[in-house]
A and B are shown apart, each in its own frame.
Chain A
Amino acid sequence: MKGSFRQSMAWLHTGSGLVFGWLLFAVFFAGTIAVFRTEVDYWMRPELHMAHPGPGAIDLAQSTLAKLAPDALRWSIELPTPRSPTLRVSWSLEQGKRPQSSYIDAAGQAVVPRDTAGGTMIYRFHYGLLLGLTGMWFVGALGMAMLVGLVTGVITHAKIIKDFFTFRPRASPQRAWLDAHNVSAVMVLPFSFMIAYSGLVIWWFIWMPAGWQVAYGGNRGAFFADIAQQGTENPTRAAATAPLVRLASLPPLAKNAVSHMPDVRSIAVNDPGRGSSRVDIVRVDSDSMWGGSDRLRFDGTNGTLLTRIEETGPPWYVAFRVFRIIHEIKFADPLVRWLYFIMSAISCAMIATGTVLWSVKRRARHVTLLRQSVSRPLTQFWADAGNVGIIAGLCTATLAYFWANRLIPAALSGRAGLETAVFFTVWALSLMAAFVEIAARRKALGNAVSAQRVLRRLWARHWMVAAVLAFLLPVIDQLSVEGIGQALRTADELVLGFHATVLIAGSAMAAAAWISSRSPEGRASLRR
């Protein structure tokens, strides 16, 4: 390229930021919420905010399954965990059919929660934009763009340490935005590197499939069979019935029977009630980031331990697994989880300030041209409208999604799809509203000072809408399902924590609205 190495890297940084910035923001935003996907799933199923089975959960699950599906091919039990205190059982009656499932309350009654897309929808948007394989390829390209953006950003800002201590909010707006972009980027630089790279590695077999395509003759299944732990075959289904051992009496379960069973995640039973029954118990070390885990297999008729398969492997298998684990944080304790949440939120701010910086820079040039009485087209402001609609609009859309979860009748069929539709409709409407406002005030955009005022008012209004939705969410929760009241009575940490987080985020949105609404006339750069 023309110019120095650093100039061409700066060009690449701006260019890729321009093309990918908005989608990258959306993916990071969804990823930030996905850190607490399970908790959001729980909040979005208020029917499950009840007394949950305690230490007797395994016995309860076993007796329920024995009643509901005594002759199933397979049972599985998901035990309560601190992140998801529900007890869920599922069973398959026919080979190849989707298993049926049910939640169980403390009294052993089946509970059917509302049909919701949950935090899982946001998680799926994070990795595939809800567009299947095509969406995953988009996200893969975004991951590469993120990696390129980070490397070129570091090269562009050679004085990275010095810049970290430089924040000049009262200097020109462009300087202030640049400083905000730099400070947030340097703060989370190692984190965003790690997230971008590990995100790419997780699905290497889709995005960079050369390895298995070449070395395994294009047979992906053969490759995965080769790296999988040597499995244990299930015996053929016995015709003779034999009573199933009491699951809670199996050694790893008995050990934890009194505590909240932190290590055992799930129990699966093949051929329950037959002579061929096998019990598989998956254990994970919930408190370790690296998530040591193993699988124990018992004979279901007499409770003898048959095999123990530890999740381990050769060095590169472990390396791949570590990449997955540090991206997905399946096993982190609450402190690490909150750190991830905060660092991804700062990464969102880094991307958002980057896209805003781009249009602020353009506007500075626009103002110079205006002063020279060169008339400029309205297109200068489309990027501003896009910034408002994408960034503030996504916050509004997510909060509207939570509102929809409480306001759409619980019994309505197809309501999960409706919730998702509300999310995307509100996002699109925010974007359209921003464009309409820019178009409607195009007369005011001819003058630098009034253009600034229009844009500030636009930001302020959109942040205000988002903040109001956030502040009213507890009210909606209380009016629709008496959620807050019940959570306070039962000290439901998950529900209260959800609302506290939304209120803190809402305060940040209100602060953004307040900062935007302050008079633009005080800005030194515009009077100069």
Chain B
Amino acid sequence: MASHGVARASGPRTEEQRELDLDKIDRYRTLENQVRQKATDQSFGEETFQLTSKLLRINPEYYTVWNVRRRCLISGLLSGPLPGSSPSKALPSSSATDTPTTSSDASLASSLTRTQQPHDSQTIGHNGTTPEPWAGDLDTIKSELAFTIPLLMEFPKCYWIWQYRLWVLDQAVERLPVSASRRIWEEELGLVSKMLHRDTRNFHAWGYRRHVVTKLESSTLNGSSMTEPEFAYTTSKINADLSNFSAWHSRSQLIPRLLNERKADQAARKDFLERELNLVREGLNVGPEDQSLWFYHQYLIANILETPGYQTIAPDLTDEERKSYVESEIVEIKDLLEDYEDIKWIYEALLEYTLALDKLTKATPSSQHDLSSWLGKLRTLDPMRAGRWSDMEKQWSQA
């Protein structure tokens, strides 16, 4: 219903195309009616489960059908005991979970599951013959995760698929021993890295990554902090593409924790700040029109100036140090003008930072001449935001 990037059709369908569509509609609605009838009858067995597989492959946006699938799983297909509870309840699940792999629909799922042999072997009991009581649930969970992979590849922005996958992962936490559940969650990082490799800005995938990392860090999964590797991940994404605003954002989110966990003292914090300034400035030297970089630069400057809520990198700078950092950034930005005269972001930064510096030092306002000339440049280079530049002028003439 919300189509993006699909070209407008050049004319009406031919009668042949219409017939073809009618045939597709007929098959789709037959399948849909079958699933609905099953749901109305509260019949959540394997037959219904297989029907949801078929339907969701055609239409993964059909949230009600994902719900039917969940109901199938919790009312029988996933009936194994929680860790520590009576193993007798495990029996029904072992037969039920055989079914997905017998269907041709699930052949891809089963083949993907089979590639995870080392983990499958974990489900065999210590004597090598009797499966662990939760083995069936583990297989089902893996099969469900495999089911959603091709759908995610085809529909990477579909909320319902991502959400269903998280629900399945939560089933792992509830139904498997911690070690087995943890391995399942760890594999998610591989998937999400793959998704972010295909589309570096997919915000579903970035959000999913944060969720998975938080879970892996939690005591539920015997976890510990992953701030360092996650920070390194943002570095690698930024090195691959300086314009990756998502990666810069994620980096800014990780920094406070990173420095706390490193138990960074004031010297280490200043050193860190300088490295970040260098990193973003190196980017600006080659891509001064890139707003991702400027937003990150603004974030660093806000940190230096101790804008309320931003004292996270180096909270104990003296006013003299703050002044000196901002002054040196202004000098560096002025240097950009030698190579790039027509980038509005440079003039905006010069204006913003100079005004902020005046405020910090409570000094006599900087040269009105400079401010006026930068503002003039902004008006010329960026007439779309003329109203903003007028408001800016009013602000500083009132100050």
Partners in one complex: no
Q: A residues near B, CB below 8 A?
A: none
B binding-site residues for A, Cβ under 8 Å? none
